[in-house]
Amino acid sequence: MEKTDLLSLSLEELAEELALMGEKKFRAKQIFQWLHVKRVFDLDEMTDISVQLRQRLKEKFCVNGLFVQKRLESAIDNTVKYLYRLSDGNFVETVLMEYNYGRSICVSTQVGCKMGCNFCASTIAGYVRSLSPSEILMQIYETERDAGIRVSGVVLMGIGEPLDNFDNVMRFLELVSHKDGNNLSLRHVTLSTCGIVPRIYELAEKRLGLTLSVSLHSADNRRRSEIMPVNRTYDIGELLEACRYYIQHTGRRVTFEYAVIEGVNSSEADADKLSGLLRGMNCHVNLIPVNRVRERSYHTGRSGVARFAKMLEQRGINATVRRTLGSDIEAACGQLRRDAGQQDGTLEGGADQ
């Protein structure tokens, strides 16, 4: 029988499991705190649990750890990129970033991605599987342990499409913010999506208090469908309607991500279209210079981002330019891969090996 990963269980599920084993419910909270507060994942180290119970638990449960395969530190901005090996041998990347208010972590939600955005490295090697709640959470716990820090913010902006792994991501959010556990306010969590419309409605119903970030990248349907295949299923009109519903239902402002790509989405006409679409909406535009992906030839052009920001400003649209972090180690937006090491031929041993 395959063992259940303890770290993916909610406190209630853990209590039910223990009840089934004839144990008292308060044990669940003890175990939950060992895992999520003390970060002890070996049942043998949970010293206030009897040896017999630990033994019985080990027969049914496990904690699938992740291992640091490679750690790359940026020479320019203190960004650290981790290549993690999962228990089944797959890899994902995680990025630890430094801002003046603290550390923030960018986690992956899937091994690879099936969305096919053609400016993004995460989709190039295809999709393998979704991550479990435990594997998403462990990226935070393991990075915090390795770096000896606590993060103050989490962004679901690594490899994969969070809304294509909806249930596991919802469980992850419950675990990361649980008051008896890690206790991170969802106000400090951002979920980024390429625009899976039905799941945006579903997320709105949950009224979670996180920040929803939508990768828009073009205000023109034909152009957006060329660069983001998801637009062929859910077009800009449907996407913005879902965003309006989200704003109305949650009272939260939505962020639109817009990677400025020369010759694709940064002309005066593009600024007209974008401002026309967003005018009056409780939103914010985050401009990103398109980051280099070695298989592609997209670029932002000289002062492209600043120029486009100005065009939007002149049209009354609130836009900021996002700092690019970790570009020297391919840790910036859209540069993460599920097989980073193998691609550039440097996967020899690992930082911890």
Please give the positions annotated as active site.
Answer: 93, 333
Q: Which is nearer to ligand SAH, 49 or 196 (CB)?
A: 196
CB of residue 168 to ligand SAH, shortest distance in Å: 14
Distance CA 198, CA 208 (A): 17
Distance CA 294, CA 304 (A): 20
Residue type, 338: R
Q: Which is nearer to ligand SAH, 96 or 288 (CB)?
A: 288
Residue least distant from ligand SAH (Cβ)? 334
Q: Which is nearer to ligand SAH, 314 or 318 (CB)?
A: 318
CB of residue 310 to ligand SAH, shortest distance in Å: 20
Q: Which is nearer to ligand SAH, 115 or 203 (CB)?
A: 115
Q: Which are the contacts of 39, defined by CB distance < 8 A and separation ≥ 6?
A: 141, 144, 145
Distance CA 106, CA 81 (A): 9
Binding region for ligand SAH (CB under 6 A): 115, 117, 119-120, 157, 161, 192-194, 215, 257, 259, 288, 290-291, 293, 333-334
Q: Which is nearer to ligand SAH, 14 or 293 (CB)?
A: 293
Q: Are strands 4-5 and 61-62 parallel, antiparallel or unpaired?
A: parallel
Q: Which are the contacts of 124, defined by CB distance < 8 A and separation ≥ 6?
A: 293, 295, 337
CB of residue 155 to ligand SAH, shortest distance in Å: 8
Q: Which helix (H) or strand (E) holds 215?
A: strand 211-215
- In 3-state terms, the chain is what percent helix, strand and coil (to 5)? 40, 20, 40
User: In the chain, where does DSSP find H-type helix?
Assistant: 11-20, 26-36, 51-60, 133-147, 166-176, 197-206, 221-227, 236-250, 268-278, 304-314, 340-344
CB of residue 143 to ligand SAH, shortest distance in Å: 18
CB of residue 162 to ligand SAH, shortest distance in Å: 6
Distance CA 187, CA 153 (A): 9
Q: Which is nearer to ligand SAH, 29 or 299 (CB)?
A: 299
Closest CA to 293 of 119, 136, 104: 119
CB of residue 108 to ligand SAH, shortest distance in Å: 9
3-class SS of residue 114: coil
